Structure 1
Amino acid sequence: MTLAARLHDGYFQVPQDVSWKTIYVAGVDIGPATPGHFATEPPVDPAVYADWLDKIGVMGANAVRVYTLLPPGFYRALLDYDRTHLHAPLYLFQEIWLEAPAGGDLYEPGFTADYEGEIREVVDAIHGHADIPARPAHASGIFSADVSPYVLGWIIGREIEPHVAVITNQHHPGLRNFTGRFLSVRSANATEVWLTMRMDETLQYEASRYNWERPICFVNWPPLDPLKHPSTMPQREEISLREKELGQVFAPLTTVPDDLDVVSLDEEKITPLPDDPAGYFAMYHIYPTYPDFIFLDPAYQTAKDGEGPNPYLGYLQDLRAHYRKTPVLVGEYGLPTSIGIAHFSPNGMNQGGLSELQQGKALARLTENIRNAGYAGGMIFEWIDEWWKHNWIAVDFEIPFDRKPLWHNDLDPEQFYGLMKFVPANPRHWVDLWTAGTLDQFASSERTGKIVNVQASWDPSALYLNLTTNLRPGQRPDWSRVRYFVALNTCGRPCGSGMLAAAGDVKIRDGANFLVSIAGPVQTRLLIARNYNPYRKDLLGKKSDVTTIVIPRNLQTGLVQEGSFEEQVVETNRRIYGENGAVYPSVEYSRSALHYGDFSLNSDDYDSLGQFYYDTSTSTIRLRLSWGLLLALDPSEGLVYSGTDDHGKPVGGISREIRIAIISADLPEAGGAAAPFQIVAREFSGRKIQQALDMPWPTWSYVSSKAVLKRSYPAVQAAFRSVTAHSSD
């Protein structure tokens, strides 16, 4: 039997001459979906993977993980890389992806047999002995590259939802033990038995067919960990408490909920048998943002690292202490660089809202935490940004699903975990919407601070506006004395508010659903017309004065002549009840504040979160307005939010144009209303805008992009070199 790798004293070892070399795993997960494609449409060109692997290797990584069988080109590129980097190869963790059983029971007839077929297919492909016919959502082709010497371990399954484990265990209460050729499990539940059986079958097939062996694991995550978490509560208990204390009304639960802390998968119950010298390990996906008990459990809040309090480290230490005999690998950890935030966590390690530099610093800290907590290694999620993905906070505003890979939603953190991003392949094309001297009206021809040119552009992420002023180069607006307002109508029809009160009671015939108030680096906002805003405050229950954010049913988005504008506020962390009696309040934040920073990719001061910037070299106000922030459901075809249905789900309508009007206004020293001194529009009279500027809505069905390393890359590179420097023979 040939061992590709083994586990020893909690770490991986690989053959080195006649002995073994210990390696600490510092790796990255590869989700292969490039812009315009789903995960089931990965690149087939080996050159794409070769470029990725080169950059991953230079970053200091020693391993990559893939979630399913990729096209043959990936394995050819990996083999070529490893043969030319014999002293520093990139090892592979190969996952054998598991779909969710339709009825929730892993033992459903046919389900296991289908998965066993997947196992054999993947093992054959890794050994370069597979010719797989084309079929939907699967890799196909001739797999001739034998990468088996470089595969550190097999990964079985996926993040199993708690309801699947509960249903499987309920249907098979008598399945408690299993003994195979390589692995055994005792005093287990039926889910643990099923997973152990699949792992044993994988090892048996590879050993009998190819006479090779390597470590193996199944995917686990904190919702199914074997620890006890007092800051959470089963859903049925929480519903009962909310009904009693708050007067909330819930529909009866008709399915098994995905509760935290009610069922577990415990790898300590599994024992490698004498025929398994390679060993067995546990693998967890551990993020600082989910579940909330990672930062809410009181025991974790006392943990500290060199930078201060760190509940993430507390959880890592607690989990690692449970596994006395089993090595543990962190198979996923990461933080996204989206503008939008889906969850707030301590130490600024939020799910979103991090610049690329902040991402790098935070990942370096997490990398050291994992190393210092005694894990066998860690793998960052993920290598590239994947545009097709969805996060709960944004998914309802990303329709239709089949066109999602065509645009990148800045509000969706799930699309921004990568260390490499994609930007337009070609320079941005600007369209002149207006130039002074054609349609302008000024209070004084000598007035400074006037807008003299308006340009627009776009890409799959955002709408861009340049408002050039007549200020001298190097001069900045006096934000205490002047405001600029940009009224936008993205509906393609009259909608929003017909009154721009903040801009000096300017009226706009067809209305505006958004109003940008440009007031300097700190106070610039993108406001939304109240009747267009889907996010509404409501009482949490009939007996409560606690509020929550909801999306009501049957919202209409017509034109209100004298409507108001407000901030777009969302709820990120929902109210939580703990079994320890604690109540953890919800967390809200406003998306309306536009982050000040230079978003030009070529700038030395580039800020990946930048949405507003004043360029003193050209005296230009620059705006980057994300399609998601403008509630475009599918900007690639001009589908915009137009209300909600009977279930409170967003519905859309097609817009063919974006209407834009700009108001420049003085602010009186003693306060009071803004006094407009310039209106930029197609047609207006006094303070009444009859026709705004307009640009055709840009549509596209193909994405032309190029890959660019994020500015987090150097920090990760330094962290990887640090944690791998301690490996020894």
Structure 2
Amino acid sequence: MEPKKNRRKRWASLMALMVIGASAVWWFWDADRVESMETTSGIQIKFRTEGDQLQVFQAEKWQPFFAKGVNLGASLPGHYPGELPIQKEDYLRWFAMIDEMGANVIRVYTIHPPAFYEALVEFNRSKAGSPLYLMQGIWSPEELLIEKKDAYLPEIREQFRQEIKDAVGAVYGEVTLPEKSGKASGKYAANAGKYLIGWHTGTEWDPVMVQNTNRLHQKLPPYQGKHFNATADATAFETWIAEMVDTVATEESKYGWQHPMTFTNWVTTDPLSHPGEPLHHEDLVSVDPMHIQPVKWEAGYFASYHVYPYYPDLFRYDPALQQVKNDAGQIDTYKAYLRQLKAHHKNMPVMVTEFGVPASVGIAHLGNLGRNQGGHSERQQGEIDAALMREIHQEGYAGGILFVWQDEWFKKTWNTMRFELPEDRRSFWLNVLTNESLFGVLGMYPNKEGVLVMDGDRSDWDQLKPEEKQKLDIRVPGIDEIWMTHDEGYVYMLAKLAHPFDPEKAKLYFGVDTIQGGNKHTAQLPGLTLDEGWETLIELGKAEESQIQIAANYDFHTRLYGKRYGMLEVKEEELRDDSGVFKPWKLAVGLEMEPPDSKTYHPLEEVLVGKLLRGTTDAQDPQYDSRTAWQAKGDVVELRVPWMLLGFTDPSSLAVMSYKDAGKSFSSETSKGIRLLPILVERSTQSIVGKNELPSPYPVSQLPIYSWPAWEQVGYHERKKQSYSIIQKAWKQIQAPVTDKAQP
């Protein structure tokens, strides 16, 4: 038997280890603890609303807090959000970059996978200084609401209530969600509740649904809940929202915490009247946060809106918004709107939880001061986003949350979605004409971006593997070599000419054939006839000339808005095959509006998107522009063309737009690939170089085809856009809102 003395020593050693272990556990817990205030009822509060501002409990007192946030999507290239492809290491990498940018809040629209909350806790635990706070969105049954147009249907209420319960459980790390298509699932064990800044309930409300809900339930008494009530002025839909917000509060209170509450709203359903808005639909009904009040909810309640500077059209047309000037002395309708919106919400904080512009070739709406929905370089994107954030801050808002952190290839836009076929493959390619895909501050670039630089230097082409490029055996006077390659965003071409290319003395054309049909002759190339037509014609010359045009009878834009909708003049002779007419590539940015849908008549608005910008795609070059299409240096011409401008509706399956034009919808067909014919034209004589050496008709059908295998996996790489550093600089200059004094 062991001597008693030895046993006492052993017990003493064990006790010492236990004390050390207990101390380690306490140290770990203490390091993970977030300072908060405990109410008399034992509830923990970290953030609260006070007057028209948000406050944070810090250094043992309440201090003003201005949210500088960024929205975070749930997708990666090649995936839809419901596939939940983002891994923990992605989140951790992004959090570090978001923090470095100067943000203090991340907003998500819905429940993310467990890895998101684990990464957020891990990042904040290891970070010195203030943490990255979370604004948790709760997704409402958006499709059902739009379809059924009645928020009070049991299936909608039950589905939303369950989503609320799941979201609260996920944030506090005390739920296991079963697998369900399009939804996050798994065991949620990380408690991110201590990093929460607030709950953001619902999605943008369809005005027709809101109006119909109000009509069906107009006699419903205002909701009176445990933590939130609807006022006597509340509509039926506002009463429904009060009930859902109260449900969130009730669920959270089970965990001993309170956080500020808000619900999603947007300009379309704001509580203001907009007599200058042309469309009745955009000013049909109001959803007013002032008609909901907190009860025994010390964390408070605030209003939040998605406010973009280009939508709806009231930002351009409403005279009531043309009275305010910005710091540069310009009439600024965005600033005017912010001022009006803030004035309505007396003694209530207001936050803009979505704003921003994309860096894209495509444009979907026009805005005041050039703040369009698209058409911007990355530098312009950063300058506009920074200016919008400064105005949000200047107008006394509680914060601004930028849309969005990363580019999202799967996104669709109203003026290109009909041309993306099949529509369920959008995530497999980057359509730079779809502006919604390119709102990100973190760019998600196709595979050869940065590998092939459009700068007129062919050395990067020479470094490509033989299987990554194709030399086309094309014998045309003045052209020595033609090479082609592609990636998820562009078709790339390199032409080596017999002599240096001078746009002042010559033009370089590329005729592009993808399917049977098209123009076998054109005025741009007099005397040239073909045995097979071209769908598109690329012209490289002076800055104002460089563009891609589309065969008139193939032109998606005219076929949709002219032939189908009657909003454009259609010349029957141009709809014939081989009309010889190529038309500028355009996108609609505003549909024709006429009574009774609108208050006054407005014609169709359209913009050119086929202009080909000469410059460089070298991100390290001061002249870098993400929209750049071509460059020439000496006898080398490099060009990249977005897939859709060549007629492709889904390059990942070699799908191109069909000439067939029956019914309401467009159709696509499978292309064998691309036949390319380069042609040089001398300016002095306006004639084709070596025209007499070209057979007539030229056998386009015998040209080599550049083709590629269909793909199911994408290659891409991420890089901070130029906008990142511009936003970073602006955000670091923005401090917390000024108040009289911090409250004890």
For structure 2, the residue ranges without an aligned partner over 5 or more in a row are 1-42, 453-463
**Residue 482 of structure 2 is aligned to residue 481 of structure 1:** no
- CA deviation profile, 1:178-200 (whole Å, cap 9, x unmatched): 22121212111111000001111
Q: Report how far residue 467 of structure 1 moved.
A: 1.3
Whole-Å separation in 1 of the counterparts to 2:499 and 2:562: 50
**Residue 661 of structure 2 is aligned to residue 619 of structure 1:** no
Equivalent position of 2:300 in the other structure: 279
Equivalent position of 1:574 in the other structure: 591
Paired residue type of 1:77: A
Q: Report how far residue 433 of structure 1 moved.
A: 2.4
Give runs of aligned pairs for residues 137-216 of structure 1, distance below 5 A.
Answer: 137-186=182-231, 187-207=233-253, 209-216=254-261
| Distance change in 2, residues 1:558/1:640 (3 Å) | farther
**Residue 133 of structure 2 is aligned to residue 73 of structure 1:** no
Give runs of aligned pairs for residues 417-566 of structure 1, distance below 5 A.
Answer: 417-425=439-447, 427=451, 429=464, 431-434=469-472, 440=475, 442=477, 450-471=478-499, 477=502, 479-491=503-515, 494-536=516-558, 548-549=567-568, 559-560=577-578, 563-566=580-583
Greater alpha carbon shift after TM alignment, 294-303 vs 214-223: 294-303
| Distance change in 2, residues 1:441/1:159 (3 Å) | closer
Q: Report how far residue 602 of structure 1 moved.
A: 5.3
Whole-Å separation in 2 of the counterparts to 1:677 and 1:64: 61
Whole-Å separation in 2 of the counterparts to 1:602 and 1:234: 44
Equivalent position of 2:35 in the other structure: none
Q: Report how far residue 667 of structure 1 moved.
A: 2.2
- CA deviation profile, 1:153-185 (whole Å, cap 9, x unmatched): 001110011011011111101124122121212
Equivalent position of 1:13 in the other structure: 55
| Distance change in 2, residues 1:646/1:510 (3 Å) | closer
Equivalent position of 1:110 in the other structure: 155
| Distance change in 2, residues 1:537/1:47 (3 Å) | closer
Equivalent position of 2:605 in the other structure: 587
Paired residue type of 2:484: A
For the 8 Å contact 1:162–1:223, the answer to whether it is kept is yes
- CA deviation profile, 1:359-403 (whole Å, cap 9, x unmatched): 000011101010111110000000011111100000001122221
For the 8 Å contact 2:151–2:240, the answer to whether it is kept is yes
Q: Report how far residue 226 of structure 1 moved.
A: 1.0
Q: Specify which of 640, 656, 665 is matched with residue 649 of structure 1.
A: 665
For the 8 Å contact 1:440–1:679, the answer to whether it is kept is no
Q: Report how far residue 657 of structure 1 moved.
A: 1.5
Give runs of aligned pairs for residues 651-666 of structure 1, distance below 5 A.
Answer: 651-666=667-682
| Distance change in 2, residues 1:558/1:81 (3 Å) | farther
Q: Specify which of 283, 306, 325 is matched with residue 327 of structure 2.
A: 306
| Distance change in 2, residues 1:21/1:270 (3 Å) | same
Which structure's CA Rg is the greater one? 2
Paired residue type of 2:637: I
Identity of aligned residues (%): 30
Q: Report how far residue 676 of structure 1 moved.
A: 2.9
Q: Report how far residue 509 of structure 1 moved.
A: 1.1
| Distance change in 2, residues 1:674/1:547 (3 Å) | farther
Give runs of aligned pairs for residues 223-372 of structure 1, distance below 5 A.
Answer: 223-233=268-278, 259-273=281-295, 275-307=296-328, 308-372=330-394
Q: Specify which of 718, 722, 741 is matched with residue 707 of structure 1.
A: 718
For the 8 Å contact 2:430–2:446, the answer to whether it is kept is no
**Residue 99 of structure 2 is aligned to residue 54 of structure 1:** no
| Distance change in 2, residues 1:94/1:552 (3 Å) | farther
Greater alpha carbon shift after TM alignment, 403-412 vs 686-695: 686-695
For the 8 Å contact 1:655–1:697, the answer to whether it is kept is no
| Distance change in 2, residues 1:701/1:556 (3 Å) | farther
Whole-Å separation in 1 of the counterparts to 2:370 and 2:574: 37
Equivalent position of 2:689 in the other structure: 676
For the 8 Å contact 1:556–1:642, the answer to whether it is kept is no
For the 8 Å contact 2:277–2:312, the answer to whether it is kept is no
Whole-Å separation in 1 of the counterparts to 2:513 and 2:218: 59
- CA deviation profile, 1:122-141 (whole Å, cap 9, x unmatched): 11111111111111111111
For the 8 Å contact 1:23–1:727, the answer to whether it is kept is no
Helix, strand or coil for the counterpart of 2:119? helix
Q: Specify which of 601, 616, 619 is matched with residue 598 of structure 1.
A: 616
For the 8 Å contact 2:506–2:541, the answer to whether it is kept is yes
Equivalent position of 1:254 in the other structure: none
Whole-Å separation in 2 of the counterparts to 1:304 and 1:578: 32
| Distance change in 2, residues 1:708/1:44 (3 Å) | closer
CA RMSD of aligned residues (A): 2.7
- CA deviation profile, 1:34-72 (whole Å, cap 9, x unmatched): 001101122352111001110000000000100111001
For the 8 Å contact 1:535–1:550, the answer to whether it is kept is no
For the 8 Å contact 2:470–2:706, the answer to whether it is kept is no
Paired residue type of 2:489: S
Paired residue type of 2:699: I
For the 8 Å contact 1:69–1:139, the answer to whether it is kept is yes
Paired residue type of 1:505: G
Q: TM-score, normalised by structure 1?
A: 0.88
Paired residue type of 2:586: V
Q: Report how far residue 304 of structure 1 moved.
A: 1.1
Q: Report how far residue 547 of structure 1 moved.
A: 7.9
For the 8 Å contact 2:655–2:671, the answer to whether it is kept is yes
**Residue 717 of structure 2 is aligned to residue 721 of structure 1:** no
Helix, strand or coil for the counterpart of 1:712? helix
Q: Specify which of 112, 134, 140 is matched with residue 98 of structure 1.
A: 140
For the 8 Å contact 1:44–1:72, the answer to whether it is kept is no
For the 8 Å contact 1:268–1:325, the answer to whether it is kept is no
Q: Report how far residue 511 of structure 1 moved.
A: 1.1
Q: TM-score, normalised by structure 2?
A: 0.86
| Distance change in 2, residues 1:64/1:644 (3 Å) | farther
| Distance change in 2, residues 1:385/1:76 (3 Å) | same
Greater alpha carbon shift after TM alignment, 358-367 vs 586-595: 586-595
Equivalent position of 1:607 in the other structure: 625
Q: Report how far residue 656 of structure 1 moved.
A: 1.6
Higher fraction of helix: 2
For the 8 Å contact 2:51–2:348, the answer to whether it is kept is no
Whole-Å separation in 2 of the counterparts to 1:292 and 1:552: 30
| Distance change in 2, residues 1:619/1:88 (3 Å) | farther
For the 8 Å contact 1:660–1:692, the answer to whether it is kept is yes
Whole-Å separation in 2 of the counterparts to 1:231 and 1:578: 14
For the 8 Å contact 1:556–1:643, the answer to whether it is kept is no
For the 8 Å contact 1:361–1:715, the answer to whether it is kept is yes
For the 8 Å contact 1:283–1:330, the answer to whether it is kept is yes
Q: Specify which of 255, 259, 264 is matched with residue 219 of structure 1.
A: 264
| Distance change in 2, residues 1:701/1:16 (3 Å) | same
Helix, strand or coil for the counterpart of 2:705? strand
For the 8 Å contact 2:472–2:484, the answer to whether it is kept is no
Q: Report how far residue 451 of structure 1 moved.
A: 2.4
Paired residue type of 1:594: L
Greater alpha carbon shift after TM alignment, 600-609 vs 3-12: 600-609
